Amino acid sequence: MTSRPVIGISTCLTDAAWGRWDSMRSVLLSERYPALIRAAGAIAVMLPPDAPEHAAAAVARLDGLVISGGEDVTPALYGESAHEKTVANAPERDLWEAALIRAALAAGTPLLGICRGMQLLNVVCGGSLVQHLPDVLGTNPDAVSHIGEVGEYGRHAVRPVAGTLLADLLPEPEVVVPTFHHQAVARLGEGLTACAHAADGTVEAVEGAGFTLGVQWHPEQGEDLRIARALVNATRLAPLGTTPTAPPAALPTA
């Protein structure tokens, strides 16, 4: 029987309450992330924030990596001041996940960034972010709703770009996806290609060398397993065909 690949998933560090505990510093991840990875045929392990110098050793023990969604990325990491709508309150997570991404790119480890994870991938590669999409979209008649109601994900169509890895995985002209984000790619990072857009032009996915993929939406909130299965399949192919990417220059300390 073929062994199941091990996929690491980054987590947040926050105060949480359960059982008899009103509040305790906790490592937190929506159960939908490991459920997605298990359904795609792999074993999921959680990666709580740690010292960035340990990232390469952690990635070396994994077959693949998922950088999960969450808080806004600290704007200082791409040279900007915070917008009034930016909520960036996880500096330890920013630096840990950035180090994980750099290690995965250097090693050629299959990598999937989801929402915040895609945005941080873009920043690590030297790109920048739109800090509040409504400021950019304005009265654009093609604007879509990127944020759902409080506590609920929205849904809108994305259009894969022909000739990309993503278009091979999602060959339909449009795919309706679960979404919840108010930030997006502004300047594209070095070595990345925009591989999907919303009707309003927002970059909805990016890809790089080997299996390096970021999606702005939340596949863990839907029923479509194609992207997760592609990540798992890439872990089996990586030793044979993946060309490592030169790691980007180190990010500034937030």
Of 97, 204, 207, 220, the catalytic one is: 220
Of 12, 115, 125, 195, the catalytic one is: 115
Among residues 145, 127, 124, 139, the alpha carbon closest in space to that of 202 is found at: 145
Between CA 237 and CA 239 the distance in angstroms is 6
Between CA 195 and CA 208 the distance in angstroms is 10
Indicate the helix (H) or strand (E) that contains 208. Answer: strand 203-208
Among residues 76, 29, 71, the alpha carbon closest in space to that of 181 is found at: 71
Is there a catalytic annotation at residue 218?
Answer: yes
Structure tokens at 66: 């998922």
Of 146, 156, 181, 218, the catalytic one is: 218
Is there a catalytic annotation at residue 115?
Answer: yes
**Residue 170 burial (CB count, 10 A):** 23
Among residues 86, 73, 154, the alpha carbon closest in space to that of 113 is found at: 73
Between CA 215 and CA 156 the distance in angstroms is 13
DSSP per residue, 13-57: EEEEEETTEEEEEEEE--THHHHHHHHTT-EEEEE----GGGHHH
Is there a catalytic annotation at residue 149?
Answer: no
Q: Indicate the length of the chain as a whole number.
A: 254
Q: Which residues are catalytic?
A: 115, 218, 220
